[in-house]
Amino acid sequence: MMSEPDDRWFDEAAGPLVRPYAMTRGRTRPGNTDLDLATQVVTVWTENDSGSLSPEHQAVIELCRTPLSVAEVAAYVDVPLVVVKVLLSDLIERGDVVARAPRMANNLPDRNLLQAVLDGVRRI
């Protein structure tokens, strides 16, 4: 019994492994190493040709119209974190996306107040 010609190239077990490799063109490390889970990324309007981007790159650009963390982008796109970092790195190099460290609270609680709360909890 002969199988269809297209069936011999399809392997269900290899599908999820090949796709991330293909999305990053075999790269396993992002060019921009400053990206961590909490780094905020947002799309910027550019004149760059989006037709040359992969569907995954375009999906990231659409998602990042509002600021998101790298971890959130990975969750929404549903690919491994390292793949998202490579995709984001590509977009940062093109100027389509900017990244920044997460905003830290400017008005941190006073150390004495925190100590008083801790003492109160211990007394309970």
**Whole-structure pTM value:** 0.61
Task: Check if the beta carbon of residue 32 is closer than 8 Å to that of residue 86.
Answer: no
Summarised one tens digit per residue, pLDDT across range 35-60 is 888 889 999 877 766 677 888 888 88
pLDDT of 1 above 50: no
Task: Check if the beta carbon of residue 31 is closer than 8 Å to that of residue 85.
Answer: no
Least confident of 26-30, 59-63, 72-76: 26-30
DSSP element (H, E) containing 6:
none
